[in-house]
Amino acid sequence: MKKRILVVSSANMDFVQSVERVPDAGETVIESRSYSYVPGGKGANSALAFARLGADTVFCAKVGRDDNARKLRKLYESEGIDIRFLSEDRETPTGLASILVEENGANRIIVYPGANEKLCEHDVEDAFTCYPDGVFVQLEIPDSAVIAAARFARENKIPLFVDAGPAREDFPLEKLFGAEIISPNETECRILTGITPDSVDNCLKACIRLATITEAKHVVLKLGHRGSFVYDGKYYNIVPSHKVPVEDTTAAGDVFTAALSYAYIQKGDILESARFATLAAAICVSRKGASTSIPTLREVKAFAKTIRGPKA
């Protein structure tokens, strides 16, 4: 039977601009590369990843009543995502993310939250009537909604998975105590702990600090091309990344943490889950866009065979 994952997070439309380089202040650049509107948002990216990997996915988010919302709903339904808890705000537009993607694949993102800011504790409480096997949250929605999801998960003894982005220094991390996994990237780690994870020693210090504050069972640092740093409260392991041609890093972190959580809820092995997530993220960065870059379970398994050999 499929595990049911409740994703409590954000839904956006992404305005993706391919550029040779980001302009300096006051500079105007004429670009010959393309731009496009692509469904995105950290929560939506993660929900799509869960669905494509095979989870029974329920998405709790807030959109506006506009064309972007209709396009997003159509996509989620076509992917088999349960959107009965995707509600509308009549006064606020659907969230928008402006994404600049440079020639080397690096991205810079500006998010206009829009209706995402209207997601509230009541919305989250309603979503828990789906009786999930796991709850997945990110910080791109109001603190009250994130904290409510954590509290309801704890009260109902449901594993909580936290993708700790976008991070703020003043976010009350202690309100997320008891999470199964918390996973920030390098920038988020520095913001949340004051420690830059640029060495093994600093990675360990940051993990210990996060684990102390949140009482999380596992801390997994996303380190980009350096792979990931996995800490289980006693020991650490480093999972290296896979070398692939990088087209676009947008959504890679969302895909990694969703794949990590998906694999973990299946078997409970954090190290194997990180290896699986690394495969999924490698496929993601080798493609352009957000929702368009998210792999299926079949694609991850096929890629794994190219890494480990046909008998793996």
Domains for the chain: give ranges and CATH numbers: 4-23+31-298 (3.40.1190.20)
Q: Which two tokens stand for residue 134?
A: 């796991």
> What's this model's pTM, rounded to 2 decimal places?
0.91
String of DSSP letters for 233-253:
SS-EEEEPPP----S--TTHH
Complete edge-to-edge strand list for the sheet that includes strand 181-183: 86-89, 56-64, 4-8, 134-138, 160-163, 181-183, 218-222, 228-231, 236-239
pLDDT digits (tens), the chain, 312 positions:
899 999 999 999 989 888 888 888 899 888 888 898 889 899 999 999 999 999 999 999 999 999 999 999 999 999 999 999 999 999 999 999 898 888 887 888 888 999 999 999 999 999 999 999 999 999 999 999 999 999 999 999 999 999 999 999 999 999 999 999 999 999 999 999 999 999 999 999 999 999 999 999 999 999 999 999 999 999 999 999 999 999 888 899 999 999 999 999 999 999 999 999 999 999 999 998 778 899 999 999 999 999 875 443
For residue 232, give the 3-state DSSP assignment. Answer: coil
Q: Which residues are catalytic?
A: 254
